[in-house]
């Protein structure tokens, strides 16, 4: 039994304690930047700047190592500055961006080097020589040289590696959003008598309703609040984190979330309207975050995507489709939320591999919000995501997927496709099934999705009925089977996240298995 008085107090104290930990332990991090300036006998100034470190001692050690490297490569070079910067000025911050610089620069994994001399040809030569020497090195220390006054394309950007402190912060964000989401769900359940007449998902009210007790379908509110509080904590504690990007994600998702929330309350927003609002959210994401697919790793189609209007239209359609796909599979306790949490975990891992702190933190924060929601959704089914939560979750998954491909050319476009192949193919298969086989509109709901066939098979009868405990037990048995599907896709995706042929083969194989399982279940159901 829930202690209604003690639980809110406990969660509130946990949130306060977590905020205090973040402020005390993380508020001063990433403010010690190794900074070394050397001068060659030819009069060229070479400046080396590395990303911030958590402690002055660590920063000082790195700066000393840089000095040793300079001295070894150029014994006659003079070290002009060897220090740890507490803050970066505008010019220094630009070194880590994609903006063009007025001098040649080299970007390597974990730092930026600039070259300045009275002779421009000497600058360019030194920059090119550093890239050439790194290419001949066997320790995978890649260096990319960028000429002066030219953009430094994101395709060649080598981001600094993820540090342990950044991973720890992401995990704290996960905990923060989880606690807030859990508390939000508790309050929605505790005071459901105030809103259940608007928010409830009645038992047996549609062909896709397979729960035993009426429950609020506005769990998406708790997810959004968890993400908002996390964004606030980012703003307060992390000066060097791209907080504006996280805020842009939250702003962009509002049309999709709002359309779903209105549907949760009024039950009168059509599928096409919700799809359009999700596509509007995708358009905002493309505008504010640059989330516009430049490629899908398919010969021929990639050539067409070089035309920005087509790339924009394709991205908007794809993001809208993923949002709708997550809403379609959100039919049983823990199914969509658990599947998405596993997919996000894989995205977080690859984000860490490519050094993307923003995407790592975004994925972990949503995982936390989902775990807080699952406390109440699985296995008790006391609250549902609703359309607001499903479209919020679908957009978040789609945006991280797009940004991984946009920001990191080494990540295959089929990596997120394999992670989300089940909900994507479920949507495509359902459209074909309804339109071609049943002759109905793709937007008309039915009870013929794969997860519904599995539910009826588990229940042992075509139209399951019985006491609430039995119905809930059958409901809860569905999600783990699809979590297993997620894991079967997640493992090869993590093994081959750079290898398009393997990802394509596994994705197509998953689709074949889906069709075979669907046809078998349908044949068994008809024969009974």
273-296 residues labelled b (16+ CB within 10 A) or e (exposed): ebbebbbbbbbbbbeebebbbbbb
Question: Which pLDDT does position 483 carry in this prediction?
Answer: 94
Mean pLDDT, residues 490-506? 94
Count each helix (H run) and each strand (E run) in the chain, helices first: 19, 8
What is the CB neighbour count within 10 angstroms for residue 122? 17
Q: For the chain, what percent of residues have pLDDT higher than 70?
A: 82
What is the CB neighbour count within 10 angstroms for residue 22? 20
Same domain? 142 vs 219:
no
Q: Nearest Cα to 338, choosing from 182, 478, 140?
A: 478
The SS3 assignment for 27 reads: coil
Are the C-beta atoms of residues 510 and 425 closer than 8 Å to each other?
Answer: yes
State the average pLDDT for the chain. Answer: 83
pLDDT at 1 over 50: no
The Cα 442–Cα 271 span in angstroms is: 10
> And the tokens for 300?
């021929």
As to burial, measured by CB atoms within 10 angstroms (0-12 exposed, 13-18 middle, 19+ buried), residue 359 is buried
pLDDT digit string (tens) for 120-164?
Answer: 788 888 888 887 776 666 444 567 788 888 776 543 334 455 666
Rg (CA), the chain: 26
pLDDT at 41 over 80: yes
Residues ≥6 apart with Cβ < 8 Å to 436: none
Same domain? 38 vs 104:
yes
**Quick check: is 198 in a domain?**
no
DSSP 182-248: HHHHHHHHHTGGGTHHHHEE-TTSSTT---SS-EE--HHHHHHHHHHHHHHHHHHH-SSS-HHHHHH
Segment holding 34, helix H or strand E: strand 33-39
Count of domains for the chain: 2
Are the C-beta atoms of residues 378 and 472 closer than 8 Å to each other?
Answer: no
CA contacts within 13 A on the Cβ side of 343:
29
Segment holding 285, helix H or strand E: helix 271-289
Q: For the chain, what percent of residues have pLDDT higher than 90?
A: 38
The Cα 308–Cα 285 span in angstroms is: 15
Same domain? 183 vs 46:
no
pLDDT digit string (tens) for 293-307?
Answer: 988 988 888 888 878
Question: Which pLDDT does position 164 carry in this prediction?
Answer: 67
Query: Using N-to-C axis directions, what is the helix angle for 468-495 and 500-527, rounded to 10°?
Result: 160
DSSP 46-88: EEEE---BSSHHHHHHHHHHHHHHHHHH-TT-EEEEEEEESS-
**Quick check: is 92 in a domain?**
yes
Which of 101-110, 384-393, 448-457 shows the lowest per-residue confidence on average (mean pLDDT)? 101-110
Residues ≥6 apart with Cβ < 8 Å to 357: 162, 166, 170, 241, 242
Question: Which pLDDT does position 359 carry in this prediction?
Answer: 92
Same domain? 221 vs 150:
no
Which of 3-12, 212-221, 304-313, 502-511 shows the lowest per-residue confidence on average (mean pLDDT)? 3-12
Q: Nearest Cα to 423, choosing from 398, 440, 446?
A: 398
**Quick check: is 62 in a domain?**
yes
Question: Which pLDDT does position 303 carry in this prediction?
Answer: 84
As to burial, measured by CB atoms within 10 angstroms (0-12 exposed, 13-18 middle, 19+ buried), residue 204 is exposed
Question: Which pLDDT does position 50 carry in this prediction?
Answer: 83
Last residue of a domain, one of 135, 156, 177: 156
Last residue of a domain, one of 108, 139, 156: 156
Query: Using N-to-C axis directions, what is the helix angle for 308-329 and 271-289, rounded to 10°?
Result: 130
Question: Which pLDDT does position 456 carry in this prediction?
Answer: 85
The SS3 assignment for 486 reads: helix
Same domain? 226 vs 84:
no
Question: Which pLDDT does position 353 carry in this prediction?
Answer: 87
**Quick check: is 488 in a domain?**
yes
Q: Give how far Cα 128 sits from Cα of 31, 118, 134, Å.
A: 31, 17, 10
pLDDT digit string (tens) for 158-212?
Answer: 445 566 667 777 888 899 999 999 999 999 999 988 988 888 866 555 445 554 5
pLDDT digit string (tens) for 100-109?
Answer: 788 888 877 6
Which of 45-59, 185-199, 212-226, 254-268 shows the lowest per-residue confidence on average (mean pLDDT)? 45-59
Same domain? 510 vs 386:
yes
> And the tokens for 484?
């297993």
Same domain? 145 vs 218:
no
Question: Which pLDDT does position 527 carry in this prediction?
Answer: 77
> And the tokens for 443?
């937007």
The SS3 assignment for 443 reads: coil
**Quick check: is 11 in a domain?**
no
Are the C-beta atoms of residues 209 and 201 closer than 8 Å to each other?
Answer: yes
Same domain? 256 vs 109:
no
The Cα 525–Cα 528 span in angstroms is: 5
pTM for this one? 0.75
pLDDT band at residue 369, thresholds of 50, 70 and 90? very high
Q: Nearest Cα to 259, choosing from 327, 185, 339, 191?
A: 327
DSSP 321-366: HHHHHHHHHTTSTTHHHHHHHHHHHHHHHHHHHTT-HHHHHHHHHH
**Quick check: is 501 in a domain?**
yes
As to burial, measured by CB atoms within 10 angstroms (0-12 exposed, 13-18 middle, 19+ buried), residue 209 is middle
Mean pLDDT, residues 398-427? 94
Same domain? 168 vs 272:
yes
User: Taking the alpha carbons of 336, 342, 344, 347 in that order, is the dihedral positive or negative?
Assistant: negative
**90: domain range?**
33-156
Same domain? 83 vs 175:
no
User: Taking the alpha carbons of 398, 399, 401, 402 in that order, is the dihedral positive or negative?
Assistant: positive
CA contacts within 13 A on the Cβ side of 196:
13
Same domain? 472 vs 514:
yes
Mean pLDDT, residues 321-335? 92
Mean pLDDT, residues 431-455? 81
pLDDT digit string (tens) for 456-491?
Answer: 888 775 444 556 777 778 888 899 999 999 999 999
Same domain? 285 vs 413:
yes
User: Taking the alpha carbons of 265, 266, 270, 274 in that order, is the dihedral positive or negative?
Assistant: negative
**Quick check: is 1 in a domain?**
no
Residue written as tokens 């809403």?
327
**Quick check: is 219 in a domain?**
yes
């Amino acid at each position: 039994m829930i202690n209604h008085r003690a639980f809110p107090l406990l969660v509130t104290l946990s949130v306060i304690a977590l905020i205090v930990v973040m402020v005390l332990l993380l508020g001063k991090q990433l403010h010690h930047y190794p900074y070394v300036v050397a001068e060659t006998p030819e009069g060229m100034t070479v400046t080396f700047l590395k990303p911030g470190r958590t402690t002055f001692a660590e920063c000082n050690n790195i700066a000393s190592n840089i000095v040793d490297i300079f001295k070894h490569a150029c014994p006659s070079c003079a070290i002009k500055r060897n220090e740890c910067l507490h803050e970066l000025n505008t010019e220094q911050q630009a070194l880590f961006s994609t903006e063009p610089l007025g001098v040649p620069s080299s970007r390597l994994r974990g730092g930026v080097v600039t070259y300045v001399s009275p002779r421009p040809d000497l600058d360019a030569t030194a920059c090119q020589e550093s890239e050439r020497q790194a290419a001949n090195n066997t320790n995978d220390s890649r260096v990319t040289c960028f000429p002066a006054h030219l953009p430094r394309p994101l395709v060649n950007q080598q981001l600094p590696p993820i540090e342990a402190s950044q991973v720890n912060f992401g995990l704290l964000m996960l905990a923060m959003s989880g606690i807030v989401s859990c508390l939000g769900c508790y309050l929605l359940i505790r005071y459901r008598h105030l809103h259940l007449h608007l928010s409830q998902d009645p038992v047996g009210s549609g062909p896709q309703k397979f729960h035993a007790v009426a429950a609020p379908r506005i769990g998406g509110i708790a997810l959004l609040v968890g993400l908002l509080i996390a964004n606030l904590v980012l703003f307060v504690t992390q000066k060097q984190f791209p907080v504006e990007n996280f805020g842009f994600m939250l702003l962009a998702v509002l049309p999709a979330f709002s359309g779903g929330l209105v549907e949760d309350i009024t039950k009168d927003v059509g599928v096409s309207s919700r799809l359009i609002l999700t596509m509007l959210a995708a358009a905002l994401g493309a505008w504010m975050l640059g989330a516009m697919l430049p490629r899908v790793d398919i010969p021929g189609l990639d050539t067409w995507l070089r035309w920005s209007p087509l790339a924009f239209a394709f991205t908007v359609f794809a993001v809208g489709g993923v949002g709708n796909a997550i809403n379609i599979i959100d039919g049983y306790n823990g199914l969509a939320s658990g599947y998405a949490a596993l997919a996000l975990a894989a995205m977080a891992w690859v984000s860490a591999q490519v050094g993307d702190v923003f995407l790592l933190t975004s994925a972990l924060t949503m995982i936390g919000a989902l775990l807080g929601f699952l406390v109440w959704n699985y296995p008790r089914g006391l609250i549902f995501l609703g359309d607001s939560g499903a479209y919020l979750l679908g957009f978040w998954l789609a945006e991280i997927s797009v940004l991984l491909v946009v920001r990191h050319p080494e990540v295959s476009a089929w990596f997120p496709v394999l992670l989300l192949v089940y909900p994507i193919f479920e949507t495509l298969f359902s459209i074909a099934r309804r339109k071609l086989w049943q002759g109905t509109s793709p937007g008309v709901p039915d009870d013929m999705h794969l997860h519904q066939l599995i539910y009826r098979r588990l229940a042992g009868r075509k139209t399951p009925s019985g006491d609430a405990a039995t119905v809930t037990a059958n409901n809860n048995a569905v999600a783990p089977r699809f979590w297993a599907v997620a894991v079967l896709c997640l493992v090869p995706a993590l093994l081959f996240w750079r290898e398009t042929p393997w990802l394509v083969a596994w994705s197509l194989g998953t689709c074949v298995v889906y069709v075979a399982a669907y046809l078998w279940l349908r044949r068994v159901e008809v024969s009974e």
